[in-house]
Structure 1
Amino acid sequence: MSAAAGKSLVGPTGATSVTPVDELTARQFSLATPLTRQALERVQLQVLQATIAGAVKHSPFYRTHLSSLTPATFTSLEDLQNLPLLDADQVRAAGESLLCVSRSRVARVVTLQTSGSTGLPKRLAFSAADLERTLAFFRHGMQVLVSSADRVLVLLPWELPDSVGDLLLRALRRDGLYAIGHWPPYPFRAAAELLRRDRITCAVGLPQHLLALATVAGPTRLRSVLLCSDYAAPSVRRRIELLAGCATFLHYGTTESGLGGGVECYCHDGCHLREADLLVEIIDPDNGRPVADGHYGEIVLTTLGRQAMPLIRYRTGDGARLSRETCRCGGVTARLYDISGRLGGVTLADGTALSSCELDDLLFDIPDLLDYRITLEAASRDRLRLDYLAHGPAAGIEKRIVACLQAIPAIQRSCDAGSLSLGPIQRVPEMTAHHTVKRTILDLRPSGDSHALTAVQNRTELEI
């Protein structure tokens, strides 16, 4: 396993220590510390059995979905693979039949207006206790980056109660930290002024937003940043660390994982998972079978002890590798690494796939490029349009963008075959409001995802 950007093995208090995620997991499972893998998995099995029993008893959907299975069939965590997988379309179609509590006990419903075969939004419900566990994870996860003396800027939606930014701000303030929210992130000069004025030492946000902030602000008091909610290309991490002179950390999480999922420790060797709340598998996306630890595949989530709407073997569509080896920090919680965001991508005319991650890896190596948006349109042949945000004069940047695009095999083959053209490639003064969510390739061709633009514009929640 290769370590990501950032080299420090020392925490904010100056001492090397086991990740706080282990400490939280031990406390929530009432286990002694230091936590052991054997003890952790023993309790996970017990909680998994209870989760399945509760889902079958209280949820009309699971009563049918898991009708052929009982918790008694589980003698080990490996038996989880005998349960059917759950996908996003099933969650959309099931709606409230997934609920395991009465509506009166639902404290928050997150609506994800995503495209799909049904055209229905995906709604995920959380009880007050579910949200409290997310708050606990945010508190402990952030202890990797900050101490009581730090001052934190949260570049995430925060004004809506129990939104991701609101939960993070509340978690930080519970520990007595100074924490302020700022949304939307544009214009970045305003955010840079806030960074200096409030003597901010830690910032949290989307990778492209933090890159733009670091570029505009230059060296400040920033000591650490947490990149969340979208794929963070290695080039983005390198540029932020060089520009801001700080360490970067990754967070993996989705709304389905309860907003929080896993966070890097100071070894930067994978995101330690909140294993008191989540069981994570990696499967082969083609056949749905589990793969061995260390092999790349699709992330599958099973929530443990979630009250309102448990998810059992939910296919996230995200790709990564899993390690259950003891981390160099001494932590035993499982870690996700080589996280690449959404699997697959749009299909070009020659049948090959093009992904946002593939584009990020090349394009964000271009100096002064801050952000971009790719759109596929139909004309006499497919047309790939790119709008970009840049810093300063950015001389010659469009030639470098074209060179990067042409270096991608799928694009090169399609252009050579005459089924794809590039352009226009144009600089924009700022990105539109809907670009403040995860970057996607907007496929507006009749053969593509006709709901893509509406889905991005209407999305009501940001995943951290």
Structure 2
Amino acid sequence: MILHNFETASKSEVEHFQLQHLQQTVRRVYEKVPFYKKKFDELGVKPGDIQSVIDITRLPFTLKKDLRDHYPFGLFAVPQNELIRIHASSGTSGKPTVVGYTKNDINNWAEIVARAITIGGGKPGEIMHNAYGYGLFTGGLGLHYGSEKLGMVTVPVSGGNTDRQITIIEDFKPTVICCTPSYLLNLAERMGELGKNPRETSLKFGILGAEPWSEEMRQTIEDRLNIKACDIYGLSEVIGPGVSMECPEAQDGLHIAEDHFLVEVIDPLTLLPVPDGEDGELVFTSLTKEAFPVIRYRSGDVASINREKCKCGRTTIRMSRVKGRIDDMLNIRGVNVFPSQIEHFLLHVKELEPHYQIHLFKKGSLQHIELQAEVCESLYYEVNGDMHHTKIDNLKKEIQRIIKSHCLITVDVEILQPKSIPRSEGKAVRIVSHSEVKMGG
């Protein structure tokens, strides 16, 4: 096991480093980003007022809306001739969020991701299969540069073309695969369809992220592929993948790169800090970025933090795996629930495949939910072209009982035949919204 010096540093050493770089970052944005100068002045805060890490609570929050309002380059802290790369979000819900990188930013990012891959089981000289998408999305290139920095043999497969990916895994014999958890399940399923045993590949570790996934999903992946599956976290607004990484020794929280990112957890309603161990919204401040530093960026991701030493030997703060996004939280007749909570209990039902979708229908102010899930092939019967009705009806009732008992919401359940739900080559589509309630809903 390789430990970075900062991963075993004392609390005082960490805070001293963080304060120095926080003060530098605050001065940088105040002097070079008009948006932040205006925000600081409105609060009556000057860079010299930051005398401890705790003083970060005096600074303004940054929202995704702020990035979109200053699209494309309005929040950059360097002139264009100092940039060497630009990334952007997909922009599916409006204008994309655009982020820039200097040469130092790219070097730091590569080092951050190299550490993350090391935490997740990667080793110099071994082969890494990178199935994250390349392009404006930060996932593919982020993992690519980190893998090369670590000294791994990097296979830039990118997303899609599943059969070709399987052939490359068979022929190149990678030990690490990087992709979304839903796509890795898709790969395993396709291997089975091709008559191959997904448990007999060379893969040992999965570095999986870009979407929330439950402990039950992890167990399913590990069982089907005979690997250790660990979560990697990042967001393009902060840097990209590598902000934190889970270790296979504990699989109990993601180690945050505290020398590059200062994390807070707040109540999204009161905006006040929540105690360690309690869920809240993750807030990040970058400490070393030059082109696009962010102050107290509200991620929208819900998680908690743990400051206890990990069994792997690292002392860095760990964040829990993301429970979901605030904007993905469903409110069903006054009850708040995340899709990952539904997944948690749904995957306990052994008769189901780990593929599902939540369909939302609205009638007035009320939201109606239909849970679509696939029955496993071993219980799939054909009777005049239909599935065995008695078994399916009983399974529906059991799922409704489980979700009602644990998530406190009433759902309609639609049981589909195997392979009915579209498979993802990237992030899985878990929620499908409709404008009207289904007939009879």
State if a TM-score over 0.5 links the two structures: yes
3-state SS of the aligned residue for 1:436? coil
CA drift of 1:405 comes to 5.0
1:47-196 matches, within 5 Å, as 47-67=21-41, 68-95=44-71, 96-114=73-91, 119-144=94-119, 145-158=121-134, 160=135, 163-185=138-160, 187=162, 189-196=163-170
Distance in 1 (alpha carbons) for counterparts of 2:216 and 2:144: 28
Query: Is 1:445 the counterpart of 2:423 in the alignment?
Result: no
- Of structures 1 and 2, the one scoring higher in RCO (CA 8 A, sep 6+) is 1
Gapped regions of structure 1 (runs ≥ 5): 1-10, 12-16, 27-33, 448-464
Map of 1:225 onto structure 2: 206
Whichever residue aligns with residue 350 of structure 1, its letter is: R
Aligned position for 2:402: 407
Distance 1:379 1:186 in 2: 40
2:15 is matched with which residue?
A: 41
Single out whichever of 58-67 and 321-330 deviates more from structure 2: 321-330
Aligned pairs for 1:258-297 within 5 A: 258-259=239-240, 260-265=242-247, 266-297=249-280
> 2 CA distance for matches of 1:370 and 1:414?
21
SS class of match (2:273): coil
Q: Deviations over 1:142-191 (max 9, x none)?
A: 12312234222112113x3884213322332344422213333454x443
> Is the CA contact (8 Å cut-off) linking 1:406 and 1:412 kept in structure 2?
no
User: Using the alignment, how far apart are the partners of 1:422 and 1:406 within structure 2?
Assistant: 11
Shift of 1:58: 0.3
Partner secondary structure for residue 77 of structure 2:
coil
Mapped contact 1:322–1:334 kept (Cα < 8 A):
yes
Deviates more, 1:337-346 or 1:243-252: 337-346
* Paired AA for residue 402 in structure 2: A
Deviations 1:194-250 (A, max 9, x none): 322221222111111223334532332221111211112111111222222222222
Q: SS state of the match for residue 148, structure 2?
A: helix
Q: What's the counterpart of residue 309 of structure 1?
A: 292
Closer/same/farther in 2, CA of residues 111 and 410 from structure 1, 3 Å limit: farther
- Measure how far apart 1:304 and its partner are: 0.8
- Deviations 1:3-25, CA, capped at 9 Å, x for gaps: xxxxxxxx4xxxxx5x43xx3x4
Report how far residue 318 of structure 1 moved. Answer: 0.8
Aligned mates of 2:417, 2:368 — CA distance in 1: 14
Between the aligned partners of 2:139 and 2:330, the Cα distance in structure 1 is 32
Match for 2:426: what amino acid? T
CA–CA separation in structure 2 for the residues paired with 1:296 and 1:38: 26
Aligned residues: 412
Unmatched segments (≥5 aa) in structure 2: 192-197, 381-386
Does 2:229 match 1:248? yes
Separation (CA, whole Å) in 2 of partners of 1:374 and 1:294: 28
Does the Cα contact within 8 Å between 1:294 and 1:321 map onto a contact in 2?
yes
Distance 1:222 1:355 in 2: 31
Deviations 1:244-292 (A, max 9, x none): 2222222121112211211123232321111121000011122010122
Secondary structure at the aligned position of 2:304 is classed as strand
- AA paired with 2:399? C
Counterpart secondary structure, 2:74: helix
Give the corresponding residue for 1:357: 340
Alignment-mate amino acid for residue 324 of structure 2: G
Amino acid at match of 1:409: K
Q: Distance in 2 between matches of 1:221 and 1:412?
A: 39
Task: Tell me: CA distance 1:388–1:347, structure 2 relative to 1, closer, same or farther (3 Å).
Answer: closer
Cα offset for 1:379?
6.8
On the 8 A contact 1:211/1:240 being kept in 2, the answer is yes
Q: Tell me the residue number matched to 1:3.
A: none
> Which has the higher mean CA deviation after the structures are superposed, 386-395 or 307-316?
386-395
Q: What RMSD over aligned residues (CA atoms) do the two structures have, in Å?
A: 3.2
Report the CA distance shift for 1:171/1:429 in structure 2 as closer, same or farther (over 3 A): same
Matched letter for residue 355 of structure 2: D
1:211 to 185, 194, 203: 185
Amino acid corresponding to residue 277 of structure 2 in structure 1: G
Structure 2: how far apart are the matches of 1:410 and 1:247?
31
Structure 2 counterpart SS, 1:360:
helix
In structure 1, give the amino acid aligned to 2:47: P
Judged with a 3 Å threshold, the aligned counterparts in structure 2 of structure 1 residues 148 and 331 are, in CA distance, closer, same or farther, namely same
Structure 1 distance, partners of 2:86, 2:359, is: 31
CA contact (8 A) 1:346 1:443 kept: no
SS at match of 1:261: strand
Aligned partner of 2:312 among 316, 322, 329? 329
CA contact (8 A) 1:356 1:439 kept: no
Alpha-carbon distance change, 77 to 174 in structure 1, aligned in 2, over 3 angstroms: closer
In structure 2, do the counterparts of structure 1 residues 222 and 207 end up closer, same or farther at CA, with 3 Å as the change threshold?
same
Aligned AA (1:171): G
2:407 and 2:25 map into 1 onto residues whose CA distance is 49
Quote the sequence identity (%): 22
In 1, Cα distance between the equivalents of 2:421 and 2:17?
A: 49
Q: Quickly say closer, same or farther: Cα 1:352–1:192, change in 2 above 3 A.
A: same
Q: Which of 422, 432, 440 matches 1:431?
A: 422
